[in-house]
Amino acid sequence: MKTFSLKKFSACLMAILVLLTSLSLCLVSAETEGSFQYVIIDEYIGDTVDTYALITKYTGSESVVTIPSVLGGQPVKVIEYAAFKGNSAVTTVTVPDGVEAIGDDAFTNCVNLTQLNLPDTLKSIGCNILSNTAISKNSENWEGDLLYLGKYLMDFDASSDTSHIVIKEGTELIAGSAFFFSDIESVKMPESLKYIDAMAFSFCDKLAEINLPENLESIGFGAFENCIKITEITIPDSVTKIDYGAFSMCINLKTLNLSNNLTEIPGRLISECNKLKTLIIPESVKYIDYFAFEYSGLESITIPKGVEFVGGGAFIDCDNLTAVYVESGNPYYYSVDGVLFQLYEYDKTLHTYPANKAGESFTIPEDINYINNNAFDSVKNLKTVVLNDIVSDANFSFAKSIECVIAPKSQQYLYDKDGVVYNLSDTLVYYPCGKKDSSFTTSEFTDKIQETAISDNNYLKELTITEGVREIEMFAVNFCNSLEVINLPSTLSSADSAAIHDCDNLQTINYNGTKAQWISLNIQVYTNSVNGLYLNCTDGTFELVAPYEEETDFTYTTEPTEPVQGTTATDPTDYTHPTSTTPQESTNIIPSETTQVQNTTVNPTGTTPPIFLAFEIGDVNMDYKVNIRDVTSIQKYLAKLVSLDENALKLADFTEDNKINIKDATAIQKKIAGLI
């Protein structure tokens, strides 16, 4: 009898719905037929639609089960995650021809399952589908340390001392997480192998030698993630699909030879592969996903003429990248002096300015209409950006080296004052991340502070937002870790609850209004200040956030106690400029109204703590589970496919570094796997 690793069991959570979330799907209906619950799926593949049935649950009590090949008039192609899980009645299951994928944990805890008949049509088998079944517990089903079902390699004995693996000839598929977190050092794959499923060799940190056979067709999600001893990989031309993060965190990978038959390069393909300096993209590639090469060691890269799409952030945090080139003849992209631009029918966009490009000054070309959100992320040498006449926005968040942005007088939408950018509607658009002044006062004409306008500046200590400012958007003041004092005007009438976010040295907010006005604004200030955070209003001083302590997971803001009956906020249209932006000193000190809490600790004052305190950190979708769905939520947020509210963002910052990035997603994956 073989044993299963708990880490391997946990790892299966990482691959849930990987197959489904990578497809363009439309749910048509939800039905029940006999003992099977199923949905009809429309899968869009280019201009064609493939309609099929996906089984979500088997509810019967029969011992011998033959899964139907058709449900709802459509062929059955997928058996979903945990469809039979925990069914102790079944002893034999036959999966029909035509089924292409079986999800994670599909038969987990079917303790009496002694026989599983699989078809020849399978292309994907999730992890641990036989965990705690009679099949896995019967030593006669194992060949040495490997569990096979026909031509499918289902699992590897996690307790084995075997370090050199030879997979038998005839094997066509390695199931998800089969070797996850094992101590194997080498693996010889047979020429018959076609599919390596999700996380099959993930976190095999001793694995140094692999051979990918010439008949291999696909490599699954995170298949070789964190295989830190692998230095070189050659992907045969037979491979047509590589999934998300297949080689991420292979930190010693120096050479990756891609298949010449790939059409897509997935997200996070080589994330955190810092020793990989060059990569040749095959001519066959048409699509490069979001964050495909992030945190890699690439120094330069050439995009072939056939590439039709490069996702935002594809080169984010590539600290060594000096140039992105494009082959001549590409109708969608071009490069000028190593800077990547994108062509649309009528517009041109600055897509990527390489992080390590030499030079301290850059002028936006005169024909560029837009600047990509991630265009200047992580730049190291650039200090001054000169705008052209026609770009309408200029927010360079995370461009930590930029000290000054200059808008020419002929600019149609923007102007600058001392290198700080405003638009013609008097909105503060961008305060440079690298500007070294210790204090800043907004222009006297400022009406609004735009989202992330004052972000990632570690020099600014005091910020004064002048009287007349009426609105502050989400994350307007964000990740400014040297900021100690913010002076706010009484004219402020609209502020996002997360307007001031993760400024961890913030100690004082001087608000030129009353406590009642502050309450009406509903600003929730998130900070881990060791000194706590105090609000000075015209009618008193109030503690907003108690001092942060290392043993406590979070601090949170509570509203000050309710104002005295009859107190009203001043109409912002009737303000007069005060002689100082700091409100008058008050001796009316109110005792602390908040206290530090951990998770579900009750707030002793009776006020309601923020929602996120009821959830474990990492539970981004707040379903009381930390799993792959939370990882996917972060990935979609980073790709700007979804938005997250302030509670979800707090839970997403798993590394507690005051940033939401792919490192949080990776850390959550490690937690799920029991590695941290």
What are the tens digits of pLDDT across the range 446-483? Answer: 999 999 999 999 999 999 999 999 999 999 999 999 99
Q: Does the pLDDT of residue 600 top 60, yes or no?
A: no
Q: What is the pTM of this model?
A: 0.77
Q: Does the pLDDT of residue 567 top 80, yes or no?
A: no
Q: Does the pLDDT of residue 601 top 80, yes or no?
A: no
Kindly state the tokens that stand for 214.
């010439």
pLDDT band of residue 15 (cuts 50, 70, 90) is: very low
Enumerate the H helices of 121-233 as residue ranges.
134-137
Q: Does the pLDDT of residue 62 top 50, yes or no?
A: yes
Q: Does the pLDDT of residue 21 top 60, yes or no?
A: no
Q: Which residue has the higher pLDDT, 298 or 574?
A: 298
- pLDDT above 90 as % of the chain: 69
In this structure, of 10-14, 31-35, 82-86, 199-203, the range with the lowest mean pLDDT score is 10-14
In this structure, of 204-218, 422-436, 540-554, 646-660, the range with the lowest mean pLDDT score is 540-554
Contact between 218 and 123 (Cβ < 8 Å): yes
DSSP letter assigned to residue 306: T
- pLDDT above 70 as % of the chain: 83
Average pLDDT over residues 408-412: 96
Q: Tell me how far the alpha carbon of residue 323 is from its chain's centroid.
A: 25
Q: Which residue has the higher pLDDT, 561 or 409?
A: 409
Q: How far apart are the first and last CA of the chain?
A: 29
pLDDT band of residue 549 (cuts 50, 70, 90) is: low
DSSP letter assigned to residue 136: H
Structure confidence by residue, pLDDT tens digits, 344-392:
888 999 999 999 999 999 999 999 999 998 899 989 999 999 999 999 9
Average pLDDT over residues 88-113: 97
- Counted residue by residue, the chain has a size of 676
**Count of CB atoms situated within 10 Å of the CB of 48:** 7
In this structure, of 188-197, 406-415, 484-493, 605-614, the range with the lowest mean pLDDT score is 605-614
Q: Does the pLDDT of residue 596 top 60, yes or no?
A: no
pLDDT at 673: 58
pLDDT band of residue 558 (cuts 50, 70, 90) is: very low
Would strands 195-196 and 124-125 be described as parallel, antiparallel, or unpaired?
unpaired
Average pLDDT over residues 587-594: 32
Query: Distance between CA atoms of 338 and 643, rounded to whole angstroms?
Result: 32
pLDDT at 636: 63
pLDDT at 345: 82
Query: Distance between CA atoms of 630 and 3, rounded to whole angstroms?
Result: 29
Average pLDDT over residues 600-618: 52
pLDDT at 672: 65
329-365 residues labelled b (16+ CB within 10 A) or e (exposed): ebebbbbeebbbbbeeeeebbbbbbbbbbeeeebebe
Q: Which residue has the higher pLDDT, 669 or 253?
A: 253
Structure confidence by residue, pLDDT tens digits, 280-298:
999 999 999 999 999 999 9
Average pLDDT over residues 324-337: 97
Average pLDDT over residues 261-272: 96
Query: Distance between CA atoms of 266 and 372, rounded to whole angstroms?
Result: 20
Give domain limits for the chain: 437-596, 615-672
- Ordered DSSP codes for 354-367: -TT-S-SEEE--TT
pLDDT at 248: 96
Query: Distance between CA atoms of 9 and 104, rounded to whole angstroms?
Result: 10
Kindly state the tokens that stand for 242.
């590589």
pLDDT at 346: 84
pLDDT band of residue 16 (cuts 50, 70, 90) is: very low
Strands (E), 158-208: 164-166, 173-174, 186-188, 195-196
Q: Does the pLDDT of residue 605 top 60, yes or no?
A: no
pLDDT band of residue 257 (cuts 50, 70, 90) is: very high
Query: Distance between CA atoms of 665 and 671, rounded to whole angstroms?
Result: 10
Q: Which residue has the higher pLDDT, 159 or 194?
A: 194
Assign 11 to helix, strand or coil: helix
Enclosing H/E stretch for 10:
helix 6-11
Angle between helices 662-672 and 628-638 (to 10 degrees): 170
pLDDT at 548: 67
Domain 615-672 sits in CATH 3.40.930.10 = no
What are phi and psi for residue 487, nearest 5 degrees?
-105, 120
Measured CA to CA in angstroms, residue 187 lies from 200, 211, 214, 220 at distances of 12, 7, 15, 17
**Cα dihedral 615/621/626/627 (nearest 10):** 180
Q: Does the pLDDT of residue 610 top 70, yes or no?
A: no
Q: Does the pLDDT of residue 13 top 50, yes or no?
A: no
Structure confidence by residue, pLDDT tens digits, 622-672:
766 787 667 767 866 775 556 788 888 888 988 887 888 767 877 787 676
Mark residue 614 as left, alpha or beta (left: phi above 0; alpha: psi -120 to 50; beta: remaining): alpha
Q: Does the pLDDT of residue 574 top 80, yes or no?
A: no
